Amino acid sequence: MDRQAIAFVVAFVAAGIFGLVLLIGGDWLPGTIIAALALAGLTLQFSRSKRRDEADPGVPPQTGSN
């Protein structure tokens, strides 16, 4: 994952937490919309990252033994 993808993931997680706070506070409609869109954004971001990594694996991960 690159920096931009990590920034998107952090933003979507923060939005999801904000949506949950709204839901707990009793604001059902905006909380539901924000939490659902954050979950959808996370899903899209992970699928994009997975497709990009499958298309161009780049440097293989190190196994730990040199």
Distance CA 18, CA 50 (A): 26
Q: Please say whether the beta carbons of 31 and 20 come within 8 A.
A: yes
Residue 2 confidence (pLDDT)? 77
What's residue 23's pLDDT? 94
Closest CA to 16 of 40, 44, 48: 40
Tens digit of pLDDT per residue, the chain (66 long)? 678 888 999 999 999 999 999 999 999 999 999 999 999 999 998 888 888 777 766 666 666 665
The pTM for the full model equals 0.72
Structure tokens at 62: 């190190």
Helices (H), 1-66: 3-25, 28-55
How does DSSP classify residue 9? H
Query: Given this model, what pLDDT does residue 51 score?
Result: 82
User: Which amino acid is residue 23, in one-letter code?
Assistant: L
